[in-house]
Amino acid sequence: MTDEQIVYLNGEFMPLAEARVPVLDRGFIFGDGVYEVAPVYGRVPFRWTQHHARLVRNLGKLRIDDPMDAAGWRGLVDALVARHPWDDQFVYVQVTRGVAKRDHAFPKGVRPTVFAMSSPLPPIPAEQIELGVATITLPDERWLHCDIKSISLLGNVLARQAAVDAGAAECVMFRDGWLTEGSSSNVWVVRDGRVLAPPRDNLILEGIRYGLLEALCAAEGVPFEVRPIARDEVTSADELMLSSATKEVLPITRLDGRPVGAGVPGPVYRRLHAAYQRAKAASTAEAAGRAAR
Ligand code: PDD
């Protein structure tokens, strides 16, 4: 957050400090809305098509009218990026069901509230790439629609705080003994040179990096297997990794105070990290090529 930040609220651009939402907004009262976080590298939104598709899917799941078409969303993201000086940014977009008298059932004839902002994307600390991050295991106490990128994030907030209280960067959650994900990231297990991914069901958010890592594994010739992953396969993994829009892909080198595998970032992580950097560079190069044509 910076003083000069310009945000978008319901059709208008304004300084962040001037953006106001009525207290009866259902986002404030019920957490009734969805959001997206998309990274921007070299002023080019990365995998925006996929982020937009997930936003549209989530709005549909909550039966909130999509306030804009695809070109409208893209125009909004591009306009926000253009208004700020940072080459690398991350765009946050939130749509709530709108403002209405407090009543749990959906109100009729209400316009969704649309909010969007872009912030400087903090560089990933070199030590996290070189040494990895520490995590703790936690029972997944969230609801059964974790596939929806809902702004109701209390379960995720409590899980992240438990990790922070334990001096860790993130948690690795399990439901009934099966791996789900982190508080704000997907979690990947490496065993015998294979990347194991938990199923894309209602128990995890399918990150935009889920499809990306699958594609990068295919390109690198790393076997990628989607299946339920038991707790002991995680605690005895060769490597663990996490991914998110703002963290890219990071090695997890400690779990509950114990080293993961050799306790240092492993070879599969290093390959995928390098492939991720190439994908970022390709995205900006492609956009520059399009602009030159
Ligand atoms: N979080 N799982 C959860 C619960 C998440 O909140 C996120 C992302 C992911 C990874 O998704 P993606 O690759 O699309 O970022 C998985 C964002 C960054 C956030 O809430 O800030």
Cβ-Cβ contacts under 8 Å for 33 (sequence gap 6 or more): 26, 27, 62, 64, 94, 95, 96, 97, 112, 113, 150, 151
Amino acid 289: pLDDT: 87
> Looking at ligand 1, which atom is closest to the CA of residue 246?
18
Please measure the distance between the N-terminal and C-terminal CA atoms of the chain and give it in whole angstroms: 35
Binding pocket residue ranges, ligand 1, CB within 6 Å: 37, 156, 181, 184-186, 205, 207-209, 243-246
Q: Given a cut of 60, is residue 1 above it in pLDDT? A: no
Amino acid 4: pLDDT: 79
Which of 48, 117, 184, 206 for a ligand 1 pocket mutation test, highest count of atoms within 8 Å of Cβ?
Answer: 184
Measured CA distances, 216 to 136, 240, 249, 285 (Å): 27, 16, 12, 18
Distance CA(137)–CA(263), nearest Å, equals: 16
Residue from 149, 152, 151 nearest 181 by CA? 149
Residue 109 alpha carbon to ligand 1 centre in Å: 31
> Looking at ligand 1, which atom is closest to the CA of residue 54?
14
Residue 230 alpha carbon to ligand 1 centre in Å: 22
Q: Tokens standing for 171?
A: 């948690």
Segment 13-49, tens digit of pLDDT: 999 999 999 999 999 999 999 999 999 999 999 999 9
Residue 288 alpha carbon to ligand 1 centre in Å: 28
Q: Whose CA is nearest to atom 16 of ligand 1?
A: 185
Which of 135, 183, 205 for a ligand 1 pocket mutation test, highest count of atoms within 8 Å of Cβ?
Answer: 205
The mean pLDDT of 192-210, rounded to a whole number, is: 98
Segment 48-107, tens digit of pLDDT: 999 999 999 999 999 999 999 999 999 999 999 999 999 999 999 999 999 999 999 999
Q: Whose CA is nearest to atom 2 of ligand 1?
A: 185
280 catalytically annotated? no
Neighbours of 157 (CB within 10 A): 12
Q: Rounded to 5 degrees, what are φ and ψ at 109? A: 65, 30
Q: E strands of 130-275, at which residues?
A: 133-139, 170-175, 178-179, 186-191, 194-197, 224-226, 239-244, 248-255, 258-259
Segment 130-186, tens digit of pLDDT: 999 999 999 999 999 999 999 999 999 999 999 999 999 999 999 999 999 999 999
Residue from 26, 17, 281 nearest 151 by CA? 26
Residue from 262, 210, 214, 271 nearest 238 by CA? 262
Which of 35, 93, 151, 185 for a ligand 1 pocket mutation test, highest count of atoms within 8 Å of Cβ?
Answer: 185
Amino acid 288: pLDDT: 85
Segment 95-125, tens digit of pLDDT: 999 999 999 999 999 999 999 999 999 999 9
Measured CA distances, 241 to 43, 129, 269, 270, 273 (Å): 27, 11, 7, 11, 10
> Looking at ligand 1, which atom is closest to the CA of residue 209?
13
Amino acid 214: pLDDT: 98
**What is the band of 3 on the pLDDT scale with cuts at 50, 70, 90?**
low
> Looking at ligand 1, which atom is closest to the CA of residue 204?
2
Q: Tokens standing for 150?
A: 């809902």
Residue 147 alpha carbon to ligand 1 centre in Å: 11
Amino acid 2: pLDDT: 53
> Looking at ligand 1, which atom is closest to the CA of residue 245?
15
Distance CA(87)–CA(71), nearest Å, equals: 22
| Catalytic residue chosen out of the listed positions 61, 101, 149, 247 | 149
Contact call for residues 116 and 7 (beta carbons, < 8 A): yes
